[in-house]
C-alpha cells in the first residue's frame, strides 16, 4: 500500500468512525424495506450483533452517537465470528481494523436481511430440533 493509499484509507475510516449511527440508520431501513423486509427485523439483527434493544438503539440514534462510540458500548454477540463473506468488495473476516470490522459485520447482516436470507441463518442460530422444543 502506498502512502497516498494509506492516507486515503485512514481518512475514509475516520469519516465513518465519526459518522453518527443516526445518519446511516435510515439508509439501512430503506434498504431492507425496499426488499420486502421490516424495520422490526432490522432491529432484531442489530440487537443480535450489539446487544442493544430497540430502546437503547433509539437512545443512540437520538443522541447522535458515532459508530466509534456505538461499538465501544456494544456487547458483541459471541457468535459474531460466524459472520463471513464479502461486503463492499472486502471479506469481513479479513478486515484488520477492529472497529471497521464491526461496522462491516453490521453492513453484512443488513445485506443478508435485504437479500431475503432466513432470520435463523442471519442470526447464526441452529434450527431447533423436535427434542429441543419439547423442553
Q: Calculate helix-pair angle for 21-34, 54-63, nearest 10 degrees.
A: 130
pTM of the model: 0.83
- Give me the percent of the chain exceeding a pLDDT of 70: 82
Q: Domains in the chain and their CATH numbers? A: 11-122 (1.10.8.290)
Low-confidence ranges of the chain (pLDDT < 50): 1-8, 128, 130, 132-135
User: In degrees rounded to 5, what are phi and psi of residue 90?
Assistant: -125, 135
Amino acid at each position: 500500500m502506498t502512502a497516498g493509499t494509506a492516507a486515503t484509507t485512514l481518512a475514509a475510516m475516520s469519516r465513518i468512525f465519526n459518522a453518527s449511527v443516526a445518519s446511516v440508520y435510515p439508509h439501512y431501513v430503506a434498504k431492507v424495506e425496499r426488499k420486502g423486509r421490516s424495520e422490526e427485523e432490522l432491529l432484531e439483527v442489530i440487537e443480535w450483533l450489539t446487544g442493544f434493544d430497540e430502546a437503547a438503539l433509539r437512545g443512540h440514534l437520538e443522541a447522535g452517537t458515532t459508530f466509534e462510540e456505538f461499538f465501544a458500548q456494544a456487547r458483541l454477540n459471541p457468535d459474531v465470528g460466524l459472520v463471513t463473506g464479502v461486503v463492499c468488495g472486502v471479506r469481513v473476516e479479513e478486515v484488520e481494523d477492529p472497529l471497521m470490522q464491526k461496522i462491516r459485520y453490521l453492513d453484512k447482516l443488513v445485506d443478508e436481511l435485504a437479500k431475503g436470507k432466513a432470520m435463523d441463518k442471519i442470526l447464526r442460530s441452529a434450527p431447533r430440533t423436535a427434542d429441543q422444543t419439547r423442553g
